Amino acid sequence: MPELDAGRHAVKRAVGDLLDVSAAIFKDGHDLLAARVRYRGPNDDTWRTLRMRYDNDADRWSAQFPVDQVGAWTFTVEAWTDVFATWRSELEKKHNAGQDIASELLEGAQLLEHTAAHLAHPYARAQLLRLAGLLRDTDFEPYTRVRVGVAPELLAVMEAHYIPGDLSTFERELSVHVDRERARFAAWYEFFPRSATTDPHRHGTFAEAEKQLDRIAWLGFDVVYLPPIHPIGVASRKGPNNTLTPGPNDPGSPWAIGNQHGGHTAIEPALGTLDDFDRFVKRASELGLDIALDYALQCSPDHPWLKEHPEWFFVRPDGTIKYAENPPKKYQDIYPLNFWCADREGLWSACRDIFLFWIGHGVRTFRVDNPHTKALSFWEWVIAEVRKDHPDVIFLAEAFTRPNRMRYLAKAGFTQSYTYFTWRNTPSELQEYLTELTQGPMREYFRGNLFPNTPDILHEHLQHGGRGAFRARLLLAATLSPVYGIYSGFELLEASPVRPGSEEYLDSEKYQIRVRDYDAPGNLNADMRRMNQIRRENRALQLYDNLRFHHADNGAILFYSKSFYKNDLLIIVNCDPHHTQEAIVHVPLAELGLTEHTPYVVEDLLTGARYTWHGAHNYVRLDPQIQPGHLLRLVRPEGEQRQ
């Protein structure tokens, strides 16, 4: 371990992680064994090795090594009979039992001499021959010769230089893809640059959108995600609320990509020029922000590819091109690509080159639209192609689909994945789902990016839950996973559906420009800024698989913890947005190094309030209209070491 699908796919880590490798290793007989990890990083020409240690209780061997470079790492495990350790153990046992050890001393001398004969280093060879001579020298007492044989210094020399005669290597070399830290820890903010205007009848520009970057950075976000910025098709253009009757000034859906101005490597002229985009990316970088672009492999009827490569699309028997559908939804303004067309190589290469084009303009993060509707083999190929020269690129899979497809896309190389979090709202649902993501096998390859809302999804929990629901969902998303995101408008509590029972927004920004006053009364700006600041100050919130759930005696209260070293956080959330809820929460004292009879202090990082708690069972009361949750940090006295 870790091993994913018999080595078919790579597990995921981030720079700075220690990769824990373990293995079950055994053989017949009573001989002692030795094992090591053999590994190499992306810039290594040769293998490095690290001895493994044996855990008798677990009956497993383990070691860990740091992964300190972005890219592809490889490792495997080697084991052998530890002839010297076996001899050393028997020598010590027989001597302690008062048995004759003359033969054992000669055997040890032969073992050292055999090892020395294969050494190129003259000092080590001379050292072993000298010690072998001492083992043979009958002028010394057996006790003295035994001390030579069991000396730690001799053990170290033999471990370093012994060449095993029965070296066995695990049958597979296993892969690890190591990402930059932002792949594991980041807060995403999605907004439409065309809405960065003061007039709903005038298209916003990159120059105007650039002014929004300061606000987003002030809020504490790390990644700015833009829906498609390409020219938008005119044929079958959608109007407000997805109507088929657009007005002459309606901008259309950004996902209907392509017109006479170009396709996936062009800029919508109303937004500005490619130079304007470059300045936008540069300003984001100055503020510490990554720009994530939407990568949507579909075309409007006006896309240049329709004329240049009609064979790349699905052609109906009557000669027309098939548009996209997700019944009952119809996307007449979008044509899907046929990834298994006759010119597969040409199509796949063109799709790869889109990535490379935008990487050339400073983009290192992509949110991939509906990857589950494209060829799965394509993603595995194209991600590997991009990573050959750009191993730091981050790919977010927007695949709200069946579990096995979501898992496979993550295995195929996607760095992060959208999740079912949007539809998990009760404590039991959240605990079951987040346990699956962070504690089971999925933790090795699936990084869940938790979005409470998207331009496509306004869940009924937000529609009817009011301010309490928005604040609780922000707290949950930002603390359950180190990667989370929101779609703009969330901070303004936008919650009107296009019709009852729908998850579509009324006046969806997908089809029209939305001018917002982000400082409007009642906004959640302060909540977001504080939440993102807390995340940056607490290492426990920056890790993925350290989530643990604990008991609360009220089914509306979710209680969980995240810990790293001396940074211990207890998070308690009222998931009922309408009613005050009370509970006794059961604090995991032993895990925190606390005792039943010693009081301890917890500080609410959201409010600054401090509470002195006693024992495992403590009372909480949460009014969603005032404070939907606690984010408590265990306050340890200066210098106290956690047990």
Give the count of alpha carbons within 13 A of 378, CB side only: 21
**Are 596 and 588 within 8 A, CB to CB?**
no
> Which whole-number Å values give the CA distances from 430 to 437, 455, 582, in the listed order?
10, 22, 19
Of 538, 488, 495, the C-alpha closest to 514 is: 488
Q: Exposure of 470 by Cβ count < 10 A (0-12 exposed, 13-18 middle, 19+ buried)?
A: buried
Total Cβ atoms within 10 A of residue 405: 15
Nearest CA among 121, 131, 119 for reference residue 155: 131
Nearest Cα residue to 554 out of 639, 428, 416, 448? 428
Cβ-Cβ contacts under 8 Å for 337 (sequence gap 6 or more): 297, 298, 299, 312, 313, 347, 351, 374
* Sign of the alpha-carbon dihedral angle for 454, 460, 461, 467: positive
The encoded tokens of residue 410 equal 């993550």
Select which of 290, 294, 369, 568 is catalytic. 369
Chain CA centroid to CA 473, Å: 20
Cβ atoms of 470 and 174 within 8 Å: the answer is: no
Nearest-5° Cα angle at 24, 18 to 27: 140
Given 398, 509, 527, 576, the catalytic residue: 398
Respond yes or no: is residue 107 known to be catalytic: no
> H or E element: which one contains 203?
none
Contact 602, 611 (CB under 8 A): yes
How many other C-beta atoms can be found within 10 angstroms of the C-beta atom of residue 400? Answer: 17
Chain-centroid distance of CA 125 in Å reads 48
C-alpha to C-alpha distances, 604 to 27, 428, 594, 634, nearest whole angstrom? 54, 24, 19, 9
How many other C-beta atoms can be found within 10 angstroms of the C-beta atom of residue 118? 10
Rg (the chain; Cα; Å): 31
In whole angstroms, what is the distance from residue 219 CA to residue 251 CA? 29
Asked if 398 is an active-site residue, the reply is yes
Distances (CA, A) of 569 to 195, 481, 558, 607: 38, 13, 14, 14
178: left (phi > 0), else alpha (psi -120 to 50), else beta?
A: beta
Sign, CA torsion 363/367/370/372:
positive
Cβ partners under 8 Å of residue 226, min gap 6: 190, 191, 192, 193, 291, 292, 293, 294
Q: Are 504 and 498 in contact (CB under 8 A)?
A: yes
- What does the alpha-carbon distance between residue 393 and residue 128 come to, in Å, rounded to a whole number? 51
Which residues are catalytically annotated? Answer: 369, 398
